[in-house]
């Protein structure tokens, strides 16, 4: 499960919302929301921002997890990918 998916499910369950309610709000099907929560699909940035508003949480919180999951989906367990991410982080913090 992705970090974002885990967080989205946690928020949805805490707010006692059904998958179909979230899907209706985002104008997509229930299966897609389930796949997002299980880390099998990604929502677009605009959908994450819309969902943050619906869930009444800071968009930055969800977007940070969204970016992290996207990077991890590209890098996976590849040692060179991990080295590349470390190099990028060094450049971002310099």
3-93: CATH superfamily: lambda repressor-like DNA-binding domains (1.10.260.40)
Q: Residues with Cβ < 8 Å from 3, sequence gap 6 or more?
A: 65, 68, 69
**Can you tell me the mean pLDDT for 10-19?**
98
Confidence (pLDDT) at 80:
92
Tens of pLDDT, residues 28-87:
999 999 999 999 999 999 999 999 999 999 999 999 999 999 998 888 888 998 899 889
Predicted confidence band of residue 1 (pLDDT cuts 50, 70, 90): low
46 vs 22, 42, 53, 59, 62, CA distance in Å? Answer: 15, 11, 11, 10, 11
Taking 80 as the threshold, does the pLDDT of residue 94 lie above it?
no
pLDDT top residue among 36 and 1: 36
Domain layout of the chain by residue ranges: 3-93
């Amino acid at each position: 499960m992705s970090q974002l998916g885990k967080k989205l499910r946690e928020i949805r369950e805490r707010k006692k919302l059904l998958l179909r309610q979230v899907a209706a709000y985002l104008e997509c099907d229930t299966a897609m929301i389930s796949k997002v929560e299980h880390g099998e699909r990604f929502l677009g940035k605009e959908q994450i921002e819309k969902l943050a508003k619906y869930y009444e949480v800071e968009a930055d919180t969800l977007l940070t997890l969204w970016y992290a999951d996207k990077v991890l989906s590209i890098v996976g367990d590849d040692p060179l990918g991990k080295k590349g991410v470390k190099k990028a982080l060094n450049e971002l913090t310099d």
